[in-house]
A and B are shown apart, each in its own frame.
Chain A
Amino acid sequence: MDEVVRRAGDAGAVAARVDAMVREYQTKLARYLRRMVGDAEVALDLTQDVFLSAFRMLDADPQRELSAGWLYRAATNGAISYLRRRKIVRMLPLDRDVDRTAWRIDERTAASVDLQAALARLPADQSAAVLLTSYAGYSSHEAAEMLGTTADAVRQRVCRAMRVLRTVMKESS
C-alpha cells in the first residue's frame, strides 16, 4: 500500500515538473524549432515530442535532473532528424508544391526574412550553432555542450553562418 501511494506521489510530482517545464520553455523551444525547420506546424510537433521525451524520462527516473540544455539538445536532434527525412522526401516532385509563403506578419520583417533565407541555405549544425547562441542566448560553451562539440567549433560554425547571412543581406539590399 505504501508503495502504491509513493508511486502516485511520484507520478504527480513528475506531471507537475513537466508542466512547469512546458510553461517556461514551450515558446522558446517552439520558436527555436520553427527557425530550424522553417515550418510552424512541424515545430509544434517537434516541441511536443521534446516534452513527451522529457515526461517519459522523468516517469522512468523521477530523481533525474533535466536542464534547459537537455531540452534544447533533444530539440536540436529532433530537428536534424526531421531535416534529414525531409531531404529524402524532397527528391519526390510533389514536395515542391508545398506552400512556404504562409508566414505571419512578424515573420515578414526584413530581418526575419533574411535570417530565414540564410538558415535555409545552412547545414543543420551551423543553423543550430547560430540559433542556440545568437537567438536563444546561450554562450558558445553552453551551446558546445548541447551540441556535443567544442566552443571553438561553435564559433567557427557561427562565423560560417554569418557569412551566409551577410551574402543574403547583400542580395536583398
Chain B
Amino acid sequence: MSQECGRAEILAGAVALGEATDTERDSYRRHLAECRRCIGRFGGEREIERVMRTVALARDAETWQPDVRGTLANAPLLRRRRWTAAILAAGATLAFAAAAFALVVRTGSPLAASRQVASSNPVFRVELERRPPVATQPRPQTHAAPDRGLVVVHNVVTLTRPVVRAQAPVAHPKPAAAAAAAVATTVAALGPSARDERSIAAMQTVASAPLPAERAESMAVVPPVVREVAPVGGDGAIVPHPSAIAYDEDAQGTTAFDVAVDDSGNPTKCTITKTSGYLVLDVAVCKAAMRARYVPRTVNGRATAGVYHDAFTFRASQGE
C-alpha cells in the first residue's frame, strides 16, 4: 500500500466518523479519482456513510436497560466468601494428602494393604479381572451405507506408497448429477464393494429424483432464497492428510462426512456418515474439515447454521 493509499485509509475513517473537513473530503475524492483500488476497498463517501448508518441503526434499536446496582452491592462480600471457600478447600486437600501419605508410609502402599486383607480375612475375596488388550491396529468396520441420500461432491485422494503424502483431492464440479457421475466412473474403475455401490446408488437417486409434487408446489408459492454452506476457497479447501499408517496399511475406501457450521462460518461438529473402514482415514477427513472455514448457509440473505456434506475416496497405488 502506497503512502497515499495509507493516508486515504485515514481520511476514509474520518469520513466514516463525520469528522472530515472539506479539505480532507476533497483530498479523499481526488485520491479516489486516481486510485481504482481504494474505491473498491473503501468506497465513496455515500457508500461509507451508508455502511456506518448500520452502526447508528443498531445503537438506536437497543432497548437493553441492565441494572447492576443490586449485584454490585453484594459483589465484595461474595468475593470474600469465594476466597474463604478456596482457602478452606485448600486446607482440606492438604489434610487429606497428609493422611494418605501417613498411611502409605505405615503400610507400604494401599494396594499391598488390600492384598493383606484379602489373604487374612476369609469373608472377603479379591478377584483380579483380566481384560484382553485393546487392539491398536485400525480394523475395517462393516457399517452399512446410511439410508438417507447424500448430496455429495466426491473427491478422490490417491495414497501412493513410497511418497508419504496424499495428493490434493481432485475437485469435481458441484452439481450433484455431475458429481455422482464422476463417482460412478471412479469407483467402477476400482472394482467397488457392495457397500460402495449402495451408497453410489443412493447419491444418484438423490441427484435425479424429482421433488414430491406438494413440496414443489409449496416452494413455488414462497420461494426462499437459500444458499447452502460451502467451504471458503472452494472444494479444494479441505485437504485431508492421513497419517503414515494409512500408507502402510494400503488403506482405501470412501469416507462421507457432515460438518455442522454455525452462522459465523465456524465448523462446530464433524460426523462421519459413511466410514471408509479405516479410522485413520476418517479421522484425517474430519480434522481437515474442522480446519477449514466456511461460508455459512443463508436463507433470504440471513446467515443461519447449516450442514456441509462431502466425501473423499482414498485409493492406494504402488507408485513408481
Contact = CB atoms under 8 A, between A and B. Distances in A.
Contacts of A104: 63-64
B13 A31 contact: no
Interface in A142-157: 152, 154-157
A44 B68 contact: yes
B17 interface: yes
A140 B19 contact: yes
Interface residues of A, number: 55
B303 A117 contact: yes
Interface string B58-70: 1101111111110
Contact of A159 (B9, B55, B63, B67): B9
B303 A26 contact: no
Given A40-B64, A100-B262, A135 B59 contact: yes
A71 interface: no
B69 A169 contact: no
Contact of A109 (B16, B51, B61, B65): B61
B283 interface: no
Interface string A94-111: 001100110011100111
B66 A109 contact: no
Contact of A163 (B41, B58, B61, B64): B41
Q: Which of B48, B62, B268 has most A Cβ within 10 Å?
A: B62
A152 B107 CA distance: 73
Interface string B224-246: 00000000000000000000000
Interface string A41-81: 00110011001100000000000000000000000000000
Interface string B283-302: 00000000000010010011
**In the complex, which range does the number of interface residues on chain B fall in?**
35 or more
A130 B16 CA distance: 10
B298 A172 contact: yes
A155 B17 contact: yes
A154 B11 CA distance: 11
Interface of A: 19, 22-23, 26-27, 30-31, 34, 40, 43-44, 47-48, 51-52, 96-97, 100-101, 104-106, 109-117, 120-121, 130, 133-135, 139-140, 152, 154-160, 162-163, 165-166, 169, 171-173
Contacts of B68: 22, 26, 30, 44, 47-48, 51
B54 A30 contact: no
A162 B301 contact: no
B55 A135 contact: yes
B141 interface: no
A165 B13 CA distance: 13
- 10 cross-chain pairs, A with B, having the tightest CB-CB distances, nearest first: A155-B13, A111-B57, A159-B13, A134-B55, A115-B58, A158-B13, A112-B58, A111-B58, A159-B12, A30-B66
Contacts of A157: 13
B54 A169 contact: yes
A2 B28 CA distance: 65
Interface string B151-188: 00000000000000000000000000000000000000
B193 interface: no
A93 B43 CA distance: 39
B298 A48 contact: no
Nearest to A153: B10
Interface in B180-231: none
